[in-house]
Amino acid sequence: MQRVSSDNNNGFSRRDALKRMGLLMAGVASLGMGPLTSCREEAKKRIILYFTGTGNSLYIARQLADENTEILSIPQMMKQGRHDFAADEIGIVYPIYGHMPPNMVRNFIKQARLLAGYKFAVLTFGMLDFNAAEIWDNISRQSGTTFDYINTIVMVDNWLPNFNMADQIKMDKHIPEQLAKVKEDLDQQKKWVKPATDAARRAHEGFMYFSRLDPDIGFLMRSEKYFQVTDACIGCGICTEVCPQGNYKLTSEGVKGEGDCDFCFSCIHNCPQHAIQFASLPGDPLLARGEVNPNARYRNEHVSLWSIKNANRQ
């Protein structure tokens, strides 16, 4: 796959780019061609691309949208092989995994050509974002795309090995206040990347050492190693639709899960029977202790199961 800078005119002529941003129309109108003036006043078009396991990032994508915004699922764009996007503003919303983007988001940005006058990224997290904004800044720049604005929003932490979802949903993380700030920044097309401290960078390095994850791929796992389906399964098929990798299949011998896994936890959180559990992994640095509460699961209260299926179905 050819990697090219989205900040160049790859796949688009300069004229196309100007047209998109309304500048060509503005130029024509300024020459006195009155009837075209209304084109100048067209509302800005925004595209928001998102990845989600349990709905937090889709909720934020929706909150950052207006009537002129197209909200697109990254797993669906990858499925369709769609990599070219053009609008006045393009944003990406995703959950951080070990302060890094999901592997699919990383692959997406390597192939994407985002043509927009303003680009932003909003990363959702549950407790510690450390240098997540800087990590995305580096990954996206290396892939040829520069984001003008990168910020984070703290929400329910869906990391089951450390957190009890029953407790998480009771915590007030001041999401409306955080959203209001981000919206204000975006309205002003603020240029800003949330800065990382040396302590945050060191903490991330410590996490990478402890977790033994490869920084070039992050949480790219194998689902058959980490998840097992118990006898509580009723064959409802939800797991076959909520997995962005399409790893689950209904077979004559029950549900089988296998394949490259983004570790998004969509399957384990959305199974209505709690029949998907972590495998016993005593030597695993992240999962040696299993999970805090195998009976508590989470999906963002504003996002339906239907929406998660639409986002991730393969």
Ligand X SMILES: Cc1cc2nc3c(=O)[nH]c(=O)nc-3n(C[C@H](O)[C@H](O)[C@H](O)COP(=O)(O)O)c2cc1C
Gap between the Cα atoms of 58 and 144, Å rounded: 25
Where b means 16+ CB within 10 Å and e means fewer, 166-180 reads eebeeeeeebeebbe
Gap between the Cα atoms of 199 and 184, Å rounded: 29
For residue 203, CA distances in Å to 151, 193, 196, 200, 295 come to 19, 19, 11, 5, 31
Q: What's phi and psi for 286, nearest 5 deg?
A: -95, -30
* Count of residues interacting with ligand SF4 (CB under 6 A): 28
Nearest residue (CB) to ligand SF4, 94 versus 265: 265
17-25, 92-100, 112-120, 287-295 -> range binding ligand X (CB under 6 A): 92-100
Question: Cβ of residue 214: shortest distance to ligand X, in angstroms?
Answer: 14
Q: Which does 243 bind (CB under 5 to 8 A by kind): ligand X, ligand SF4, none?
A: ligand SF4
Residue in 22, 91, 95, 244 binding ligand X, rule: CB under 6 A: 95
Reduce the DSSP state of residue 59 to 3 states and report it: helix
158 binds ligand X (CB under 6 A): yes
Q: Are strands 248-251 and 149-154 parallel, antiparallel or unpaired?
A: unpaired
How many alpha carbons lie under 13 Å from residue 139 in its C-beta half-sphere? Answer: 26
Angle at 171 between CA 266 and CA 133, to 5 degrees: 60
- Burial class, 3, CB count within 10 angstroms (exposed 0-12 / middle 13-18 / buried 19+): exposed
> Per CB under 6 A, which of residues 233..252 are in contact with ligand X?
none
Residue 218's beta-bridge partner residues?
214
48 binds ligand X (CB under 6 A): no
Q: Are strands 118-125 and 149-154 parallel, antiparallel or unpaired?
A: parallel
Q: Which does 145 bind (CB under 5 to 8 A by kind): ligand X, ligand SF4, none?
A: none
Draw the binding track, 262-301, toward ligand SF4 (x: CB under 6 A; -: no contact). Answer: xxxxxx---x-x-xx-------------------------
Question: Cβ of residue 194: shortest distance to ligand X, in angstroms?
Answer: 13
Which residues have CB under 8 Å from 2's CB, separation 6+? none
219 binds ligand X (CB under 6 A): yes
152 binds ligand X (CB under 6 A): no
Nearest to 279 by CA among 270, 291, 267: 291
C-alpha R_g of the chain: 21
Residue in 143, 265, 278, 307 binding ligand X, rule: CB under 6 A: 265
38-46, 78-86, 91-99, 235-243 -> range binding ligand SF4 (CB under 6 A): 235-243
Q: Which does 29 bind (CB under 5 to 8 A by kind): ligand SF4, ligand X, none?
A: none
Residue in 22, 91, 101, 126 binding ligand X, rule: CB under 6 A: 126
Nearest residue (CB) to ligand SF4, 43 versus 232: 232
Q: Which does 159 bind (CB under 5 to 8 A by kind): ligand SF4, ligand X, none?
A: ligand X
134 binds ligand X (CB under 6 A): no
Which positions lie near ligand SF4, rule CB under 6 A?
A: 53, 223, 229, 233-239, 242-245, 247, 255, 257, 261-267, 271, 273, 275-276
Which positions lie near ligand X, rule CB under 6 A?
A: 52-57, 95-99, 124-129, 155-159, 219, 263-265, 300
